[in-house]
């Protein structure tokens, strides 16, 4: 996270990162194959950079040659030896290789690209763990509310059984309450299954059985910052920067391809410990090798044009990614704005629905409302409570996702 990203994040209202989410992320970080693959690719890029740099450095080679030939007729001389041998050390220093310098620049950009991709994988892991954690919390909260509804429904059914027994309520009212209880039992089963599925998904992310830490339901937070600031920050996301570096890579590829037209110049030096022939008394030699391509069947021009088309493709991909990032941030920001109002409205609705249910319970004892009125108000109360708690958690999740969409990790 850069210094400016930190300043941006601190200047915006955002959801606090729960301890349970940090716990899950820590476990997922150890487990994630994607992060390990990204780490490996970064190390491979480092080695490619070292290898490319090595082509610009001198090479020193020890050599020993031995050759035996069919004896030639005539008197013995240095030219008629049946065995020729030499032991030497060779030094080769590239002086000019245009493609080698471009290739080294290519690997430097490639290393930076892999580092940006590694950062993006880290953000992606936060995205995955955030979604898994909050979905698990929502499933747990939903199950708890449905179980609470079951307790209320069961109490209601017990109360009506007693009232029917003493003739104070109709049997139809009892049947309504028992139907409600059976329906809630089915909802409990579905909610338990949803919780198990959410737990399995989180366990997969963590790579082990994850025992979540939930804490209290988050309190309302301040409004999100201005959309323009989020959009500006999002253009610094690692994947956007990586896409820009892809363009730089293809520009380097064009330079490498064009270098096929350029000459190469190498310096060579040999030191002989022992050798035969007419130069057996010479201990060393120096030389410069110049190679100039004259005709290569048009392959260099074809490679150059191919690299230019790849650059065009990368530019288009970069422009598309920027538009996609802009779209995603706008949608997330608008969703957070909407949920701010939804949470506020549902909080009022839950409070009033609970008060209505409590009043209907009291009024029922005095015969002012029917049993059906009590059941309806009970369902409305629990439905509003479920909706409010889900909206609060969804708002927290979206606030973190909006933060991640700008390239800033929690």
Query: Per-residue pLDDT for 130 more than 60?
Result: yes
CA-CA-CA-CA dihedral for 358, 360, 364, 370, to nearest 10? -150
Biggest CA–CA distance in the chain, Å, is 141
Lowest mean pLDDT of 52-66, 77-91, 387-401, name the range.
77-91
Residue 130 and residue 125: Cα distance in Å, rounded?
Answer: 8
Residue 282 and residue 255: Cα distance in Å, rounded?
Answer: 42
348-393 tens-digit pLDDT: 999 999 999 999 988 888 888 888 888 889 999 999 999 999 999 9
User: Which SS3 state, helix, strand or coil, does residue 325 take?
Assistant: helix
User: Which SS3 state, helix, strand or coil, does residue 208 take?
Assistant: coil
Q: For 239-246, what is the mean pLDDT?
A: 95
Of 187, 179, 200, 181, the residue nearest 142 (C-alpha):
187
Long-range interactions of 154-157: CB distance < 8 A, separation 24+: 154/181, 156/180, 156/371, 156/374, 156/375, 156/378, 157/181
CA-CA-CA-CA dihedral for 398, 400, 406, 409, to nearest 10? -160
Residue 124 and residue 318: Cα distance in Å, rounded?
Answer: 19
What's the Cα-to-Cα distance from 315 to each of 318, 340, 408, rounded to whole Å?
5, 38, 25
Q: What is the pLDDT of residue 15?
A: 55
User: Which SS3 state, helix, strand or coil, does residue 289 take?
Assistant: strand
Q: For 277-284, what is the mean pLDDT?
A: 86
Q: What is the pLDDT of residue 75?
A: 65
Of 257, 200, 407, the residue nearest 322 (C-alpha):
407
* Better-scored residue on pLDDT, 324 or 159: 324
Residue 204 and residue 31: Cα distance in Å, rounded?
Answer: 9
301-310 tens-digit pLDDT: 999 999 999 9
Residue 136 and residue 201: Cα distance in Å, rounded?
Answer: 9
Residue 130 and residue 24: Cα distance in Å, rounded?
Answer: 9
Task: Name the pLDDT band for 224 (thresholds 50, 70, 90).
Answer: confident
Task: Name the pLDDT band for 277 (thresholds 50, 70, 90).
Answer: confident
Query: Per-residue pLDDT for 187 more than 50?
Result: yes
Q: What is the pLDDT of residue 70?
A: 75
How much is the mean pLDDT over the chain? Answer: 89
Report percent pLDDT > 90 for the chain.
64
Query: Per-residue pLDDT for 230 more than 80?
Result: yes
CATH architecture of 3-59+98-262+309-405: Up-down Bundle (1.20)
Q: What is the pLDDT of residue 80?
A: 66
Query: Per-residue pLDDT for 223 more than 80?
Result: no
Length of the chain equals 410
Query: Per-residue pLDDT for 217 more than 70?
Result: yes
Torsions phi, psi for 18 (to 5 deg):
-65, 150
Residue 291 and residue 301: Cα distance in Å, rounded?
Answer: 19
Task: Name the pLDDT band for 172 (thresholds 50, 70, 90).
Answer: confident
User: Which SS3 state, helix, strand or coil, does residue 207 take?
Assistant: coil
Burial of 8 (C-beta count, 10 Å sphere; 0-12/13-18/19+): buried
Q: What is the pLDDT of residue 11?
A: 45
* Better-scored residue on pLDDT, 366 or 40: 40
Q: For 75-101, what is the mean pLDDT?
A: 83
Query: Per-residue pLDDT for 178 more than 70?
Result: yes
Query: Per-residue pLDDT for 327 more than 90?
Result: yes
Residue 236 and residue 17: Cα distance in Å, rounded?
Answer: 22
Instruction: Specify the residue for token string 């088309």.
Output: 309
Name beta bridge partners: 64.
87
Q: What is the pLDDT of residue 84?
A: 85
Sorted by sequence, the CB contacts under 8 Å of residue 117 that are 6+ apart come out as 38, 41, 238, 239, 242
User: Which SS3 state, helix, strand or coil, does residue 55 take?
Assistant: coil
Residue 303 and residue 199: Cα distance in Å, rounded?
Answer: 52
Q: For 199-210, what is the mean pLDDT?
A: 93
Task: Name the pLDDT band for 6 (thresholds 50, 70, 90).
Answer: very low
Q: Which two tokens stand for residue 7?
A: 């300043």
Q: For 70-75, what is the mean pLDDT?
A: 70
Query: Per-residue pLDDT for 35 more than 80?
Result: yes
* Better-scored residue on pLDDT, 79 or 134: 134
Query: Per-residue pLDDT for 173 more than 90?
Result: no
Q: At what angle do helices 33-54 and 98-165 cross, to 10 degrees?
A: 170
Task: Name the pLDDT band for 273 (thresholds 50, 70, 90).
Answer: very high
């Amino acid at each position: 996270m850069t210094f400016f990203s930190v300043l941006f994040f601190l200047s915006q209202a955002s959801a606090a990162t729960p301890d349970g989410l940090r716990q899950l992320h820590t476990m997922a970080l150890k487990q994630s194959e994607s992060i390990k693959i990204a780490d490996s690719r970064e190390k491979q890029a480092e080695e490619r950079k070292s290898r490319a740099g090595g082509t610009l450095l001198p090479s020193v080679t020890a050599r020993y040659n031995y050759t035996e030939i069919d004896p030639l007729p005539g008197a013995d001389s240095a030219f008629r030896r049946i065995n020729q041998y030499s032991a030497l050390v060779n030094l080769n220093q590239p002086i000019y290789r245009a493609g080698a310098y471009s290739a080294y620049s290519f690997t430097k950009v490639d290393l930076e690209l892999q580092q940006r991709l590694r950062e993006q994988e880290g953000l992606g892991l936060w995205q995955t763990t955030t979604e898994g954690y909050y979905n698990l919390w929502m499933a747990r909260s939903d199950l708890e509310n449905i179980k609470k509804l079951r307790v209320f429904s069961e109490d209601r059914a017990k109360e009506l059984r007693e009232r029917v027994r003493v003739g104070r309520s109709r049997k139809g009212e009892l049947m309504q309450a028992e139907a409600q209880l059976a329906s809630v039992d089915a909802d409990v089963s579905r909610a338990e299954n949803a919780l198990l599925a959410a737990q399995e998904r989180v366990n997969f992310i963590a790579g082990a059985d994850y025992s979540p830490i939930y804490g209290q339901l988050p309190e309302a937070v301040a409004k999100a910052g201005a959309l323009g600031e989020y959009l500006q920050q999002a253009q610094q996301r690692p994947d956007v920067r990586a896409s820009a570096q892809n363009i730089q890579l293809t520009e380097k590829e064009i330079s490498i391809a064009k270098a096929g037209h350029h000459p190469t110049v190498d310096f060579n030096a040999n030191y002989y410990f022992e050798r035969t022939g007419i130069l057996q008394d010479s201990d060393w030699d120096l030389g410069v090798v110049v190679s100039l391509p004259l005709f290569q069947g048009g392959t260099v021009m074809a490679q150059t044009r191919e690299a230019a088309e790849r650059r065009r493709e990368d530019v288009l991909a970069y422009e598309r990614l920027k538009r996609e990032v802009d779209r995603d941030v706008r949608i997330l920001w608008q969703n957070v704005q909407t949920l701010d109002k939804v949470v506020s409205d549902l909080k009022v609705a839950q409070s009033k629905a609970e008060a209505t249910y409590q009043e209907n319970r009291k009024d029922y004892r005095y015969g002012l409302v029917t049993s059906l009125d009590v059941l309806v108000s009970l369902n409305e109360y629990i439905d509003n409570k479920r909706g409010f708690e889900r909206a609060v958690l969804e708002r927290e999740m979206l606030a973190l996702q909006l933060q991640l969409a700008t390239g800033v990790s929690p």
